[in-house]
Amino acid sequence: MKVTDEHNKRIAKLTFSSVYPHYKAKVEKKGRTKEELHQVIRWLTGFEDDSLQEFIDSKATFETFFQNAKLNQNAHLIKGVICGYRIEEIDNALTRQVRYLDKLVDELAKGRKMEKILRKEGK
């Protein structure tokens, strides 16, 4: 599926606080914890719990969220399809970063081992 400019604009304006409860519910429903979710988010973005809470409280957009993130150097190893989009084919950097997060949350919810989710070069 091709990502459109409209889709990219919609993603940029979406607030992290509106999506976070869905991430949390998804992983908890499958027996994973909020702490594991935060570990995955921290790996991808570098944000500690207090920073995450600030983004939630301020209703920051995904654009602001990822502008402030220090993306993990191995984020490019996140591949596959999420929400009908092949991650490695997404041209827009912000949309790709949001899909990275979606993919990691999905893998966590599906019971994938944490050492597989938190990718390392050469694995």
Nearest to 34 by CA among 94, 88, 109, 92: 109
Mode of pairing for the β-strands spanning 81-82 and 85-86 = antiparallel
pTM: 0.93
Vertex 44: Cα angle to 107 and 113 (nearest 5): 30
36-61 confidence digits (pLDDT tens): 999 999 999 999 999 999 999 999 99
Q: Is the pLDDT of residue 85 over 90?
A: no
Q: Is the pLDDT of residue 120 over 90?
A: no
Average pLDDT over residues 103-119: 96
Task: Output the pLDDT for position 60.
Answer: 97
Q: Between 121 and 81, whose confidence is greater?
A: 81
Instruction: Tell me the residue ranges of DSSP E strands in 1-123.
Output: 81-82, 85-86
Residue 29 CA: distances (Å) to CA of 6, 59, 113: 32, 24, 17
